[in-house]
Structure 1
Amino acid sequence: VLRCVDFQFAFNRIDATKSPYLARAIEHELLNMHGDAHKRLSRLLKKALRDRVVEGMRRKIADIVAELVAGLPADGPVDFCSAFADPLPARVLGPVFGIAYEQAEGLNEWIRIGGRKIDALQSGVGIAEVEDANRRIHDYLRDLLAQRRGNPGDDLFSEMMQVEIDGDRIGAEELVFLSGELASAGVDTTRAQLPLILNAFLDHPQEWDKLRADPGLAGRAVDEGMRFAPLPWVIPHRATRDMIYRDIAFAEGDLAFVMVPAANRDPSATERPDEFIIDRAPARHFAFGAGMHSCPGAHLAKMEMSMALLGLLEACADIQRAAPPEWEPGQEGRTLRRLDITIRKMKPLHG
């Protein structure tokens, strides 16, 4: 039985020979770093995400959400995934990297394909396509870094480029991999997780009424949605040394897959774990990892999703399911291919 504080791990080896480039990209992710290297980059990233930068992004994301909500039809069914959740990340990439929407669309598509690194290395399917997408992401970010030297903007990428602690800065290649990871984790996660959260609300309309009565619950609703219906079913961690866990021997290099849904619904950690309750406190979950290996894009993703919920809440008097959801299976979890909804928009106030 998998529990919140006592994970049982399923271990598999990733064959790095299938794609040394992808294996290297995974090893350079902050999520997979350890010790002083992890601590150093985490401190620099935290400083880059200071209030001024985050608040500026918040205002821009609010405008993006309002525009997308306004484009939803008020007189018929619409696929929430393609009409809202898919375009949102591409729009948000603009303020994150300080780039035009046309450039963000291309980067967004590479991120969508390139995010399947673990799936590709495990299955051997689509490795060439996934590797090509990751190379394009990293090459694009190297070019962007060269352009911004001496001419930084007010975006998060420029802030990460300039942040300094005691004379220490994020190195050029570190910035390429870290910002790529941030975009994938903080932006691409939204594309897949947001429909899962809305789907939970459609199954539990009383919780949507609860959010309407208290919009201040939006942040907690996102956490509860990620606990109840997490995007990742497994989170990989590589063993950094030979070890024994629960009488099982693991060699250095073995990959541990933490089973997220089981941990999220551990009855010893969460009361009534199989129920979707947005005002539970706290809604502890492991969809973003835990501790020092928490996802570096968690803050951005949560901000996007909570603002998306608030935007829908403000503009829509009612949201109903129009058809059964269509699922897309995957080795790391399942996502929604389609989520057809019918909305009734708020009537404008006059006088």
Structure 2
Amino acid sequence: MQLNHQVIDQKRIFQLAGDRHVWYAKMRQESPILYHPEHQAWTVFRYEDVKQILSDWHTFSSKVPHPPEQTDFTQSLNFTDPPKHHSLRTLVAKVFTQRRVELLAPRMLEMTHELLDRVEAQGRMDFIHDFSSPFPVIVIAEILGVPIEEREDFKRWSNGIIAEDLTAYQAMGDYFRQLLQQRQGKPGKDLISDLIAAHEGGDKLTAQELVDFCIVLLVAGHETTTNLLANAIVCFHEYPEAYKQLQNEPSLLPLAIEEVLRYRSPAQIIPRFTKVETQISNQIIPAGQLIRVCLGEANRDEQQFEEADKFVIDRDPNEHVAFGNGIHFCLGAPLARLEAKIGLSTVLERLPNLRIEPNAKLELVASADVHGFKALPVLF
């Protein structure tokens, strides 16, 4: 069932989502490895198969072929295998540390209050436009050292890249190349300056690798957190008793965030490419085949999760694969989790009566790879 480009009311959106997951559950039982001739790709639904693919880079490569005009960008961290991936990730991890992320917490809290101050008197807002979208853009811009007046360009480029607009790739790449030149002559206390200076065993990031990482951080960080925050509000709306439980027990918020990541995974599908002939479950797949790894459906696998199609706000343990698995486990996961914790805790505290507008029609984003909404009108 195609859900892209549909405008549907709230009741119907949950019904359609349920229908989709019923179909996927059937596929997990009957055709867990499904071939799509029109896409020339295999789709994988089961949790154990997904984890196997993501953990075995020797067989399933991240170097998925792309059009020639995207070649530069696809040499980045997300689209490389070892040993190149190891050297890139080691260099980036030296400066993009969890400690660096945690030091941003006070500033993140200020940002959330600043954003809510702008709309609180109105009694309503578009949660995505007014809060969940600008928040991560501001955070990442501050991490990278981007001037405040250029952040709207960042948001526009990020949206363009998600929509596979090649002009957005080019515009963002050109901007970062210019910013890198400025930092090489006059380093600051930002991530870009530290990335330029980083080295490991004589290795340094090339100019293109620096640009690629900045783009990946902005696009992935913006899109993931925007949808994570908004999807949380939708989950709370769909499960009011769970929301009431969270309001009574705010300490449940970290578990609630993990359940949102599982139940409405922001990243739905990631690609892999078979290096050699291999077998997944009982299916032989030739070398040179595109694999569409369904993170969102693996996270609904009833063989892995009890009551998999129910939002359980205090689910523990919760070994979802929303951030991937193996060597490509999302480097920005600590940032997304901290942004979600600070963002949602502020909303819960300041807007306890937050609710989706009763007559709102919610439009799903036009991408099979991510799960989120174009707008989320709320009252408070």
Fold conserved between structures, TM > 0.5 = yes
Counterpart of 1:69, as a letter, is L
Q: Which amino acid aligns with 1:250?
A: P
Identify the match of residue 85 of structure 2 among 38, 49, 53.
38
Which stretch of structure 1 is more off in the superposition, 139-148 or 80-89?
80-89
Question: Which residue, 39, 43, 47 being the options, matches 1:4?
Answer: 47
CA contact (8 A) 1:185 1:295 kept: no
> CA shift at 1:136, angstroms?
1.1
> Are 1:188 and 2:223 counterparts?
yes
Corresponding residue for residue 113 of structure 1: 160
Does residue 1:25 correspond to 2:25, yes or no? no
The answer for the alignment partner of 2:181 in structure 1 is: 146
Matches within 5 A, 1:188-227: 188-227=223-262
Give distance in 2, aligned partners of 1:176 and 1:43: 16
Distance 1:23 1:115, change over 3 A: farther
Q: Which residue of 2 aligns with 1:348?
A: none
Cα 1:340–1:23 change in 2 (3 A) is same
Using the alignment, how far apart are the partners of 1:264 and 1:77 within structure 2? 33
2:98 and 2:297 mapped to 1: Cα distance? Answer: 35
Looking at structure 2, the residues matched to 217 and 145 of structure 1 have their Cα atoms a distance apart, in angstroms, of 41
Which letter maps to 2:368? Answer: Q
Contact 1:325/1:336 (8 A) holds in 2: no
Q: Note if contact 2:140-2:221 (Cα within 8 Å) is conserved in structure 1.
A: no
Q: Give the TM-score normalised by structure 2.
A: 0.78
Q: Which residue of 2 aligns with 1:289?
A: 324
State which drifts further: 313-322 or 71-80: 71-80
Which residues of structure 2 form unaligned runs of 5+?
1-27, 29-44, 54-59
Measure the CA separation in 2 of the matches of 1:283 and 1:69. Answer: 31
Report the more deviating stretch, 302-311 or 152-161.
152-161
Aligned to 2:126: 79
Q: For 1:155 and 1:221, how far apart are their aligned partners in 2?
A: 32
Show the 5 A alignment for 1:1-351.
1=28, 2-7=45-50, 16=66, 19-26=67-74, 28-74=75-121, 76-117=123-164, 130-245=165-280, 246-252=282-288, 254-323=289-358, 324-328=360-364, 329-343=366-380
Say if 1:200 and 1:302 are closer, same or farther in 2 by CA, change over 3 A.
same
| Distance of 2:105 and 2:162 partners within structure 1 | 24
- Is 2:363–2:373's contact at 8 Å kept on the other side of the alignment? yes
| Aligned amino acid, residue 255 of structure 2 | R
Q: Are the aligned partners of 1:32 and 1:237 in contact in 2 as well (CA < 8 Å)? A: no
Bigger shift: residues 283-292 or 242-251: 242-251
Q: Which runs of 5+ in 1 are unaligned?
A: 118-129, 344-351
Q: Hey, what's the Cα distance between the residues in 2 that align with 1:259 and 1:110?
A: 26
Deviations 1:4-54 (A, max 9, x none): 102499x9xx874xx41225423x232232122112222222221235522
Question: What SS does the corresponding residue of 1:317 show, helix, strand or coil?
Answer: coil
Task: Label 1:50 to 1:335 Cα distance change in 2 as closer, same or farther (>3 A).
Answer: closer
Q: For the structure 1 residues 4 and 51, does the alpha-carbon distance in structure 2 shift closer, same or farther, using more than 3 Å as the test?
A: closer
For residues 96-133 of structure 1, give each alpha carbon's deviation from its aligned partner in whole angstroms, at most 9, with x where no partner exists.
Answer: 2112211121122111111233xxxxxxxxxxxx1110
Residue pair 2:140, 2:217 contacting (<8 A) in 1 also? no
The SS at the match of 2:150 is helix
Structure 1 stretch displaced more, 306-315 or 284-293? 284-293
Structure 1-normalised TM-score? 0.84
Q: How many Å apart are 1:217 and its aligned residue? A: 3.2
User: Counterparts of 1:211 and 1:314 in 2: how far apart (Å)?
Assistant: 11
Structure 1: which amino acid aligns with 2:318? A
Q: Report deviation, 1:155.
A: 2.2
Q: Which residue identity does 2:46 align to in structure 1?
A: R
Q: Distance in 2 between matches of 1:164 and 1:333?
A: 34
Distance 1:64 1:299 in 2: 18
Q: How much does 1:312 deviate?
A: 0.5
